[in-house]
Amino acid sequence: MSVLEGWEGWEGWEGWEGWEGWHAGPRPAAVPHLMASTEHLRELTVFGMAPTAWPGPALRPDATLKPLSAFARRYVVVADLMTGVAFSPLKGGGVRITLSHGQVDMERPASKAFDPEPVVAAASLRAERSAEIVSQMVFNPMLWSTVLPLSPRRTPYTLELMTTVAMFGALLVQRVKLVFNQPRPHELSPRVQPMIATPGFSAYPSGHATESRLVSDLLLALLEGCIPQDWKDVVPKMLHALSDRVAENRVVAGVHYPVDSDGGKDMAKQVIAALAKRVKDASDSGRQGTTSSLPDTFAELWQLARAEWSTIAPPAPAA
């Protein structure tokens, strides 16, 4: 992938695994020495020992997500979420996404909504927002740690759930973009002059708006009943303000119209409703299962993340 392609936000999802680097593994130059050292150590410690297995079953009987590495969990869950997803046309040029526990309807906005002049006007904010815009070019779950106490040590499963849902949203939004095939603002006016490389796919809806609102609404659903009483009014406002800022910055940068952000927020709202229903149905049935015989890995990851918050602030007693 070229440098320019790497700037196309959604393609950077593989880089989201970077937060795992806090534990700092060995440097590449040290790997050959580590390998040689390990082999010598093996000769000293293993030679002459009978080849007996470690006590316990060789295979885990429950096939749960927890023993997997973080990236493997995300790939498994996203594959599970994509199972059965279908796209179908709506009258007027819109598109319907059918999910396992709901549907998402996206209507085509009127052509006048794609006016480049508001994008030109927003360019006046570029000087003060340039650092934000560049830092938000690829998804980083730690952005939400400005509102909530998130960290790889304290809330690893929550961070995984956030990146997983954002990955899922990115896949959905790319297919929807293809349906609408809306030119970017700079294609309609030479006055836009984007401050960053324009992604090589259509504008509507905004992927950044979709994914950032997905994550904010995901956290609100996940933390229901766990937010401290004196935070209950302000946290939703802060999370939505954060995702709105990410979306608006894409307009300021010159790569989106304001209506792209509106479409992204609407899409995120519908996707989260379907995901929340999926978790509720799994809970009501008494198992993390779908209609198939396989376990629902999304519901399992949700419960792992939920457990990280359940002891922080119990629900306030009823009046």
pLDDT of amino acid 69 = 87
Neighbours of 137 (CB within 10 A): 20
Neighbours of 3 (CB within 10 A): 7
Any domain includes 152: yes
Residue 245 pLDDT exceeds 80: yes
Greater pLDDT, 9 or 235: 235
- Mean confidence (pLDDT) of the chain: 85
pLDDT of amino acid 51 = 58
Query: 237: helix, coil or strand?
Result: helix
Instruction: Count the domains in the chain.
Output: 1
Residue 278: give the domain boundaries: 65-307
- Mean pLDDT value across residues 49-78: 74
Any domain includes 22: no
| pLDDT tens per residue, range 262-318 | 999 999 999 999 999 999 998 887 654 444 557 899 999 999 999 999 755 544 555
Sequence-separated (6 or more) residues with CB below 8 Å from residue 20: 70, 71, 152
Any domain includes 269: yes
The secondary structure element, H or E, covering residue 104 is strand 102-106
Residue 38 pLDDT exceeds 80: no
pLDDT of amino acid 13 = 46
Residues 226, 313 contacting (CB under 8 angstroms)? yes
Any domain includes 17: no
Greater pLDDT, 63 or 237: 237
Amino acid type, 157: Y
Query: 95: helix, coil or strand?
Result: strand
| pLDDT tens per residue, range 248-267 | 999 999 999 999 999 999 99
Any domain includes 319: no
Among all chains, which residue has been given the structure tokens 């922080």? 312
CA distance 12 to 170: 10
Residues 242, 234 contacting (CB under 8 angstroms)? no
Any domain includes 50: no
Any domain includes 30: no
Amino acid type, 174: Q
pLDDT of amino acid 45 = 61
CATH number of domain containing 243: 1.20.144.10
Any domain includes 278: yes
- Token pair of 90, please? 């709506």
Question: For 65, phi and psi rounded to 5 degrees?
Answer: -75, -30
